[in-house]
Structure 1
Amino acid sequence: MKKNYFLLLLMFVTIGFAQIPSGYYSTATGTGYTLKTQLYNIIKGHTNNGYAGLYTTYLTSDVDNFYENDGTILDMYSENPSGTDPYTYTTGTTQRCGNYSVEGDCYNREHIIPQSVFNEQSPMVADAHFITPTDGKVNGMRSNYPHGNVNSATYTSQNGSKLGSSAVSGYSGTVFEPINAFKGDIARMYFYFATRYENTIAGYSFPMFNGSSNQVFTTAFLNMLLAWHAQDPVSPREIARNNAIYARQNNRNPFIDHPEYVNQIWGGTSSTDTQAPTAPTSLVSTSKTSTSITLSWNASTDNVAVTGYDVYANSALKTTASGLTTTITGLTASTTYSIYVKAKDATGNTSASSNIISVTTNSSGTGTVTDLLFSEYIEGSGNNKALEIANNTGSSVNLSTYTIKKQTNGAGAWSTGLALSGTLTNGSKFVIVNNSISSSCFSTSAANISTTATELTFNGNDAVGLFKNGVLIDIIGTFNGGTANFAVDVTLRRKSTVTSPSTTFNLSAQWDSFSQDTCNNLASKMVQTATIEEEEIISDFNKILIYPNPSNGNFDVTTDNLDLSYSIEVFSFSGQKVFEKQNTTSPEVSIQNLSSGIYILKITTAQKTTYKKVIIN
């Protein structure tokens, strides 16, 4: 849970520095590696409480008095600084269970510098300054990999920590990246280890180390740690942890007490390096629809670390990617876009543009539906909160790769996410409701998910996103939109003209608004659209034709038998019925009042039901 740290910071800084023993750093008078050796002589020879003693230390050093403030274990690999933690651990319990099949089983001891680096020797193996309590499953996934910026994730924990390919210049192996809120904490643990064990570290083999006792780290990893240290300053949590460990070990982490020592020793590369990444190369479009363009490119290099790529279309920033592929959504059909990509690094430098490509989206007449999308949103009275997702892609969709996330009050990070599961068949809807929704609005038994999760406690200024494989594909509201309400006390239904998801929210263009607690359409059955091949077979059998198509909203329904009685229903692509005409023999149909777009016709005779697509210009 996000807290206002201003008063806490003043309090803990005062208390923290007051607890540094008088004269503790009086001999730390040098600069560069001389200062590092002086600090080594101050903090060496600490009290070794043994490996088992770490759990006793954690009872005071790693208690959550800063986020939920509930006295549980504060775990950097599961803590959600901006929302509800996915799970919690109580001090003294659920530890060392040996069963780490899923997150939340139990916690254990995470050596930020792996034990294998120093052959599990003492006192390193029990030094709490760089050994923290963490979820056993995530600890196992991190394994012995170095910490670093991830280029493409192969595993993401519930709080957003990632394992994947390295974005650190010159290192192509696997790395583990914590969330931003704890990058500085971990960087200062590395600097502590490099200083406390200066006398032996030159003999340790680790991808982050260069074999020296002074610089210790390779230049690329050093620059990354310096960037983490700069972007995530010392927090009250670190100060309290440093004091608690000092009470047990009788030594301190000098880089928490005096963050300025980092730059005084290692040169402060992170604050004075201005080298930009190289420009991305070989940008190409790999696929496109009427509303989206999928891209790929070759990686940039950087002396610190490439942290992401900004993607532009017609000079407007459309999305930011962490890997080497992305899809721009929310585009206009039959429109040409000039597209380029820029890389950015951990110190805020931006590269020159990649090669510029020109891509024209498909025409809307193709009727392509790219993915699932939000079809309805209810932000009603009390806990009347609901989301509806529609599938009109033409085939069943496995939901296991999809999650829903929320940004609280228009600021901060996305929530950990509410995972979806099961299969959503074509033409169906998936409904998620707050489990305290009023029965007069909707029955929880009719929902696919009824939950107390934070994602279903949204208010009118909380952006809600639909994610696929961790990538945002559709959004309701504006990310980082601040406190402004975009949809309060209202029901929103996706317009019939919107056939694909969009990462850009446009209320007037994409949504129809209804009054508070309008719940009558939620979970209504979508029309089951047929494939083109199915339509041809059905049409041949029944000899039902639509002409003209496309049309301006006036068209004829013709059959072999001109006296045949039929009924017609017209549905938007999001599944909402927008027109109905029962038991008629007249061929004329007029739906001129509808917006331009693609609609599904359901034509029913005494013998058969036929589905047809019609395009309204």
Structure 2
Amino acid sequence: MKKIILFSVFAGLAHAQAPAGYYNAANGLSGAPLKTALSSIISSGHQDKGYNGLWTAYKTTDIDKDYENDGSILDIYSEKPVGADPYKYTPGSNQCGTYSTEGNCYNREHVIPQSLFNQSSPMVADIHFIRATDGKVNGMRSNYPYGKVGSATFTSKNGSKLGSSSSSGYSGTVFEPIDEFKGDVARMIFYFVTRYESKLSSFASGNMLGSSAFPGLQTWELNTLLAWHNQDPVSQAEIKRNNASYTYQGNRNPFIDNPAYVNQIWGSQQPTGDAQAPTTATGLNVSGKTANSISLSWNASTDNVGVTSYTIYMNGSLKTTANTTSATVSGLSPSTTYNFYVVAKDAAGNSSSNSATVSGTTNAGTTTPSTDCASENFETIPTSSVSNYTTRTWTNNGISWNATDARTDQTINAKAITVRNGSLTSGSSGNGIGSLTVTTQLKFSGTNGTFDVKVNGTTVGTIPYSTSVATTTINNINISGNVTVSLVNTSASNRVAIDDLTWTCYSGGAARQAQAIASETATPNFKISPNPVTNQEITVKGDIQNVKKAEIYTLQGKVMQTIHQPFKNGNSIRTQNLGQGVYILKLDGVTMQFLAK
């Protein structure tokens, strides 16, 4: 077979195509840790060019330079490695379109069907698993998984088949590419379940995907793809496509650059049955407490294939599930003792024995007043375009919320809001703030960092975050009156999930209040009218003659404009090209929000 000849020539070349040091973070790893390290590497630098961008990409990524070498579209569903192709497509001029038979047009074939991830970005436009293929054959393949066909109901002109499965462990309908491209398909799927391993639990399976980060595939499909990967080594055409895709999209398929990663992660073909349970988790301990939550950590279990998750039980009942060796259980009562144990699970559904039980007692409630003034669990966050980073607004428990550069598809304790280069900001809330508690976790790739916590635009503390779920409390904030609370990500690229945000009320404490922005009862009676403001002009009513300085801030605390003696010529301030959005006007020690239109 052509690829076997090419493999000996290009095996060393494949690794050399990646930039120096590109895979350093994966050195020395194997199994699930290697898969996770590769996920972080190939997520970094990934540029979503949009679904229509694929048409442009195909002019460099899916061109035949190794079979006929004629500049036509290299279609794995119609290419004949030996002999003339049944038809050819000219890049850009034969795009679907409509089709009724083979050879009408080419379109965009998602090797992982886009219906499994609800056509969401960035998956829907990821060049590494979306090939230019004949429309008719693509339509016949539909959403079926890949496997070995026993009895074919459709055969394309190059020999690709659709029919009943003869792959061990699955009897449904499958699609089988020709031998020349079986390894290509396998490595595209391995890329997908690695790049998007943290999302797999939210995807449909399509009888192929697993529901956990490791192994990421159903056992029968994994066995089939491992066999195809070993049977059909990396070709020169795959190497060239990987390089062109890197130029276009900014990330690579590691299983083309380093084919050995496949067996280092998943091993050689596993038996179709896995009856061995993971080992019992050890070292369970209480790692943190608040009045309403207890954080737990433990040592990792081991398994012959791989541990996929841990279930956490409280007082004998299932409470939550974690993919890492830590978890936070929230919604607890102050000064109350709870008992916990952990069970490890693998992809085949085998469960370990219960871990040792550990007891934890929540902290006492805060001193009077101790009621929560705000409690946000993010269960009502917007659900449209959940993986896109954009501005999200919603209202819950009487408080409005605004999250910038945020997505809504990640979880900690159920739903969470994930902020990248942005912030989470509340609307104005009465009764002040005493202490603030929040749970965070760094998602995808990145480094440990912090959120700045701002009350009425002034920083009152920081919230750390890392890849482990952590609950942090800032005590003694003690600001009375109306408050607006912001959590501002100090990183421009870390993607951090926020969950279970609460703060207690506060009505006293003049010493701390004097250090922060003065409360409304102690400040002049200023009012922005009209609000929203238009024409880049803010009009302020009230006793403004003695105001010495005006400052305009974004909700993230960035100073946009400073004006000394702002009202010496009237009661209006001219702004400097503010975009549409919410801002803070600070007049000496008094702050007010306004909306610019």
TM range (shorter): 0.3 to 0.5
What TM-score, normalized by structure 2, do the two folds share? 0.44
What TM-score, normalized by structure 1, do the two folds share? 0.42
